[in-house]
Amino acid sequence: MEKLGTKIFLLGIVTLCSILLITGPAMARTQFVSIGTGGTGGIYYPYGGGVAEIWTKYVKDVRAVAEVTGASVENVKLADKGETVIGEVMGDVAVAGYQGLPKFKGKKHDILSMAIMYPNLLQVVALKKSGITNIEPVKGKKISSGSPGSGTNFMSETVFKALGIALDSYKDSRLSFTETANALRDGTIDVGFWSVGPGTSSILDLATTHDIHIISFTPAQQEKIVAANKEYSAVDLAGGVYKGVDNAVPTIGVWNVMICQASLKEDLVYNLVKALFENQGYLLKIHPSASYTTAENAVKYSPIPLHPGTIKYLKEKGIAVPANLMP
């Protein structure tokens, strides 16, 4: 009986060694790719989840996962530290991190652009019953300018400064998108800020149960804000996106960019962007904003230099890359 047990044990060892010999090298080749997104109440997270599915399915030996994070500012820091390798970031935040502007305390972050995602629109929301129809009355009000480390918070504060609204003139809860919608619903804040693509789930849900007002910006306000940050542009949120908001709303827009560690290997980034651009239809099923995720837009709207892997793909497609986007 003892001999039989020994034989079975030895057979198990031989079998395990055989499995390791077969699978070991394959497992060793797997590249894990982490994508820093945002909270679950915006578009970053489902968009990033779709990108992760594309890369896992279509890029050999890559396993990608979308991570919930504090969004843009945090994603720049995470990519720079290597805690994630890819980040979804608003263009103004990408520039601030790349150049080491005050928001990042003068530290230049080791990031490059991979692809353009879609444009964000600043959506400033109040309940209709509040009577708030202009951004100026936020002074003395209870607001949420976006969670700490998010692009929404970065953009909100940039807008306040451009309009001469002191950052200590209001009470700021700095909530996530879902928390902001809940706080408006419960009456614990007066105004909530979102910098997201049109049709974000947290505002859609709020509009189904409460009458909302999206605060518009005057031409003079738009001019001041755009002058304060060259990555911004004056745009309209189309009417009909949210229940009860039937007319276009003048606001501010900024492009979202997918960044990566500058040190990532050229071949890896090439394979990732190739799979992303060539499986756009898959991403469109997750969110219509993916219609903007094209190779051409990577050149048109990238706010910082492109990674060599992206440049390699663009050149293969006959798309010229200007000198200012070369790393």
Query: Residue 233 in 3-state DSSP?
Result: strand
Which residues make Cβ contacts (< 8 Å) with residue 180, sequence separation at least 6?
Answer: 125, 144, 146, 173, 189, 192, 193, 194, 202
- Tens digits of pLDDT across the chain (327 residues): 434 343 433 444 344 344 344 444 445 589 999 999 999 888 999 999 999 999 999 999 999 999 999 999 999 999 999 888 899 999 999 999 999 999 899 999 999 999 999 999 999 999 999 999 999 889 899 999 999 989 999 999 999 999 999 999 999 999 999 999 999 999 999 999 999 999 999 999 999 999 999 999 999 999 999 999 999 999 999 999 999 999 999 999 999 999 999 999 999 999 999 999 999 999 999 988 899 999 999 999 999 999 999 999 999 999 999 999 999
Can you tell me the distance from the alpha carbon of 218 to that of 187, in angstroms, rounded to the nearest whole number?
26
Which own/partner contact pairs does 277-283 have at CB distance under 8 Å and 24+ positions apart? 277/115, 277/313, 278/58, 279/54, 279/58, 282/50, 282/53, 282/54, 283/47, 283/50, 283/51, 283/54
- The letter for the amino acid at 194 is W
Domains, in order of start, for the chain: 26-118+257-325 (3.40.190.10), 120-254 (3.40.190.10)
Q: Structure pTM?
A: 0.84
Q: What is the pLDDT of residue 13?
A: 37
Can you tell me the distance from the alpha carbon of 158 to that of 267, in angstroms, rounded to the nearest whole number?
37
Give me the residue label for tokens 């890819």.
86
